[in-house]
Chain A
Amino acid sequence: SVAEIRAGFTAIKANIQSRDPIRSLSILSHPHSLHKVKSSDRCCITHHLFSFYVDKVFKHCRTEDSFVNRKISSIANSFLSLRRRLGQCHEQNNCVCGEESTEKFKQILANYEGLNVTSAAMKSLGELDILLDWMEKSH
């Protein structure tokens, strides 16, 4: 559940964010903030973001710290089970992707591809609270 992800992330937030020295770039929040996404697009963006983290991010976040690796595993597996639940929305077709959310997600991928893969993955992991804050506020 989201609470498990939040707890896992809080435990490693300082460690992960300290591995990201780039202050002037964000994957999720600039130039377009998630908070500006229309409510009708939220389900689609959330589904896209869960797949983004599962397929692209977590695999490049291995560290030398066993505790951090275990928490990342816990978060990644929680993402899997949440994505499965979101997938059910997708199948029931009430998770429609509008033009705006498609555009927003393209921007996120462009931000991600603008960095080398390890930096991009670690930065994305360090921004999990941005995703969680938005999800909790808007859902």
Chain B
Amino acid sequence: DALLPAPQSISILSTNMKHFLTWSPVIVQGATVRYSVEFQGEYEREHANGSWIPISECSLTTATVCNITQDISATVAYKLRVRAELGATRSPWGTTKGFFNSTMTSLTPPLLRVVADGHHLLVELADMGPSFQFRVLYWKKGQEGRVQQKVMKEVNSVVHLDTMEAGAEYCVKAQTHVEAINRSSSFSPTQCVRAQGDKSMWLV
């Protein structure tokens, strides 16, 4: 086994609750090196004799990346390890330095589309997965002190936010919120749209 070095530069890339383990390839001239990945949660460490659990989708894989999202589903500290395999030869395990917890994921603002349809203010939000809620803030331009909020889960459809005063301009921005880790993204850029109808009608 000493002939096959352990994979190096092992790290976890995590964005919007999607977690990937990556590592540098182990180069053996003229040979195809494969890799196997295992994970260990706090439960395995503290209550199951430090056992490790293989990720079957990343067993004997030639890729140097593994999607660990399905297995890192609890908000506890996890460790990951990967080793190289060439025929019967196996390298030592390479283990992540420190722990990974899904609370460490980076959250990006949601993709938001704002629509005015007559007097109706509507939004469409891109799907980001089952863990996500969206906090949508909206206000009438010029009344920045009277911001209203809606928390939504609906995605990929035009969702009704509110009705607008004729001719008035309304602005909207949104952030994601992940209840499981109790964290939110930064806000999306603000988008403003104008309601149909003549503003002067309101001044009569």
**Direct interface between A and B, CB < 8 A:** yes
Alpha-carbon gap, A69 to B41, bound state (A): 13
Q: Does chain B have a CB within 8 A of A109?
A: no
Q: What CA separation (Å) do A76 and B48 show in the bound complex?
A: 10
Q: Does B75 contact A (CB under 8 A)?
A: yes
Q: Which residues from chain B contact A79 at a C-beta distance below 8 Å?
A: 43
CB-CB under 8 A from A119, the residues of chain B are none
Q: Which B45-59 residues have C-beta < 8 A from chain A? A: 46-48, 53-56
Residues of chain B within 8 A (CB-CB) of A66 are 54, 56
B73 contacts the other chain (Cβ, under 8 Å)?
yes
Of the candidates B47, B70, B73, B75, the one having the most CB atoms from chain A within 10 angstroms of its own CB is B73
In the complex, which residues of chain B have a beta carbon less than 8 angstroms from the beta carbon of A59?
47-48
A77/B43 contact (C-beta < 8 A), A4-B73, A59-B48 known = yes
Provide the A55-77 mask, 1 if CB < 8 A to any CB of B, else 0. Answer: 10011000000110110011011
How far is A4 from B70 in the complex, measured between Cα atoms in Å?
Answer: 11
Is A69 within 8 A of B53, CB to CB?
yes
Q: What CA separation (Å) do A80 and B56 show in the bound complex?
A: 24
B147: Cβ under 8 A from any A Cβ: no
Chain B residues positioned under 8 Å from A7 (CB to CB):
130
Measured CA separation A79–B47 after assembly (Å)? 12
Q: Is the CB of B73 within 8 A of A76?
A: no
A4 touches B74 (CB 8 A): yes
Considering the complex, give the chain A residue whose CB is closest to the CB of B75. Answer: A81
- Closest-by-CB residue of B relative to A74 is B73
In the complex, the chain A residue whose C-beta lies closest to that of B101 is A81
Q: Say yes or no: is A116 at the interface (Cβ < 8 Å to chain B).
A: no
Measured between alpha carbons, how far is A67 from B59 in the docked complex, in Å?
Answer: 13
Complex-state Cα separation, A25 to B37, whole angstroms: 39
- Name the residue in A1, A59, A69 with the highest tally of chain B Cβ atoms < 10 Å from its Cβ: A1
CA distance in complex: A81, B46 (Å): 13
Question: Given A55-B47, A58-B47, are A73 and B54 also a contact pair (CB < 8 Å)?
Answer: no
A80 touches B42 (CB 8 A): yes
Residues of A within 8 A of B42 (CB): 77, 80
Would you call B158 an interface residue if the criterion is a C-beta within 8 Å of the partner chain's C-beta atoms? no
A3 partner residues in chain B, CB cutoff 8 A? 180
B179 touches A81 (CB 8 A): no
Counting CB contacts under 8 A, is B71 at the interface?
Answer: yes
On whether the beta carbons of B53 and A8 are closer than 8 Å, the reply is no
11 A-B contacts (beta carbon < 8 Å): A8-B73, A58-B43, A59-B47, A66-B54, A70-B53, A70-B55, A73-B43, A74-B73, A76-B47, A77-B74, A81-B74
Given contacts A70-B53, A70-B71, 16 further A-B contacts (CB under 8 A): A3-B180, A4-B73, A55-B47, A58-B43, A58-B47, A59-B47, A73-B39, A73-B53, A74-B73, A74-B74, A77-B41, A77-B76, A77-B78, A80-B43, A80-B74, A81-B75
